[in-house]
A and B are shown apart, each in its own frame.
Chain A
Amino acid sequence: MKPVTLTFIEKTRIAPAMWQFIFVADKPLPPFQPGQFFLARTGNMFSAYLPRPLFLAPCDEVAGNWPVSRFQLTLSARHLADRGLAWLFSCPPARKIDAFGPLGCGFTLPATTKNLLVPIDFELGMGVFLVGSLFTMRKSLNVTLAFESKNPLPAAIVRRFPPHVEITTTLTTDRLLWPDAIIAIGGIPFYQRLKARLSAVRLRPAPGLAQILLADAPLRPCGVGACGLCAVPTAAGSRLACLAGPVFDLATLDLEVLADD
């Protein structure tokens, strides 16, 4: 974890209710995993909110070429309900934002992976370009991005992915049997549906098969493991989402308890 100053460069609408933010760090950052987060100070001196977790990803043109100083973040309209992120939406270009990170544990892709399935809840926003750095440089990897979306995917987003990445909006039984690794980004109901469908076709999904990002996990207030308030139930007992996560093994997380919370 290190302090970093992010300069907000621009905000671009990439879908009807989705924006891509571009930031430049004051210094190039060494590699970190997608799903690890930075805590950013938002608000001003009279409305100092708790630091917000930002799931940054290297910009397309620099993905894989660490160290990186140019990062992207996608947010959807639903994030406007969050006071801190709403402040981010209102930032003028060149605004400097104090942050520190990376924190937590992100997605990891074993070197032996051949077939990767990436189910993403498109409406969540933040998953759209988050994990690209895991596969854009590995052309031998068979990748399928499965976006769950109520609306057609914008062509501009589809074009952003390299040709070896298959993009679909349907998650068929075949596709659930095909991968040897799954990384998913969505909310708890999305993961419950995914787990149910995986269980239906694979009977008992092997531990380690599917990693999920608790994007809506309460990573605050402290975000560093000091307050103990972000504990989530797992098969191995209670774990802090900000330290042991926010990426967890789908097989070990108790989604029912999380859904009740």
Chain B
Amino acid sequence: MIDLAPAHKIGLSLKSPLMPAAGFWGYGPNRYAPLVSAELLGAIVTNPMTLRPRRAGPSAPVAEVDGGIILPVDLPNPGLKKIIRQNRKFWRRAPIPLIAHLPADAPDDLARTVSALDALAVFAGFELGLPPDASPADAALFTRTLIRNTDLPALVKLPFPGKPHLAEAALKAGAVALTLADAPPAAAGTTAGRFFGGGVHAQLLPHLQHAAETFPGTPIIACGGIHTPADVRACLQAGAIAAQLDSVFWANPQQVQQILRYAQGAKSDDPLPSP
């Protein structure tokens, strides 16, 4: 068992350090069954939820480049009301903890979203996603807005590569754990968005290490291009306590199962399974 919020009054215990990153699993039900066993995950981080519906922008092609894909990140979602209506039944009987991912929207909308989700009593924690252009004041404002409306642990997902000044502001405002990091900005042809793929992992590692050294005692969740058991091990060795899997779900869901099985009994010195 690991605890993502050891200093929090409620805590956030997970039986596995692995979970899907926001945007890669959906809102609850396992769309990847039978390729991926949900019970091997430590938690489900939901897709982004906003108070109002958001549609993907027009002409939002996925650009494939070497090492990954570039995806316009419009945070499309059907809006909180519909998401709750469609998923409440599953959430109530979810076999593993649920973490609601909330983009840093307008503070009033964020407050209403948190209150509505908190009242359902189905989530184990919240993850706040900060936009790439967030300032320390924004990080503090949104984190405070989140924790004022719930007693549950608040995780904060930082923009790439995990800007320390934002982390500091979020932690001071009450965040209990940090997710490093959101996907880096990228562009190719007419597509501008964020880059997802195995290529992100190597860039992430030094920032993970730096964050672990800068904020000792703060649980850090690695996120970015983790595609193999070796990537998980490297993240844990760099100081992360847990890891979120992102583009591997899309590129190779069969591989996810292998990573999850490895993590079940993984210690950082264990030999790696052959690919």
Contact = CB atoms under 8 A, between A and B. Distances in A.
Interface in A95-136: 98, 100
Nearest to A233: B55
A165 interface: no
Which residue, of B25, B61, B71, B251, has the highest number of chain A Cβ atoms within 10 A? B251
Interface stretch (A60-68, A73-81, A191-199, A224-232): A224-232
Interface string B66-82: 10010100001110000
Contacts of A217: none
Contact of A220 (B35, B59, B250): B250
Given A231-B55, A261-B58, A222 B31 contact: yes
A221 B62 contact: yes
A226 B25 contact: yes
A203 interface: no
A227 B24 contact: yes
Contacts of A228: 26, 47, 76-78
Given A46-B66, A50-B69, A228-B47, A222 B249 contact: yes
Nearest to B247: A221
B253 A231 contact: no
Given A50-B250, A98-B254, A224 B31 contact: yes
Q: Range of interface residues on chain A? A: 20 to 34
Interface string A130-161: 00000000000000000000000000000000
A78 B132 CA distance: 37
Contact of B251 (A3, A46, A48, A224): A48
Contacts of A229: 56, 60, 62, 71, 76
A24 B187 CA distance: 39
A2 B34 contact: yes
Question: Looking at chain B's contact residues, is the secondary structure mostly helix, strand, loop, or mixed?
Answer: loop
B121 interface: no
Contacts of A51: 250-252
Interface string B152-181: 000000000000000000000000000000
Interface in A2-20: 2-3
Given A46-B66, A226-B31, A228-B26, A238 B250 contact: no
Contact of A238 (B23, B55, B71): B55
A60 B192 CA distance: 44
B35 A1 contact: yes
16 contacts: A47-B66, A49-B64, A50-B69, A51-B250, A83-B64, A84-B64, A220-B250, A221-B69, A221-B71, A222-B250, A224-B253, A225-B26, A226-B47, A227-B23, A228-B26, A228-B76
Interface of A: 1-3, 41, 46-51, 83-84, 98, 100, 218, 220-229, 231, 238, 260-261
Interface of B: 23-26, 31-35, 47, 55-56, 58-62, 64, 66, 69, 71, 76-78, 198, 249-254
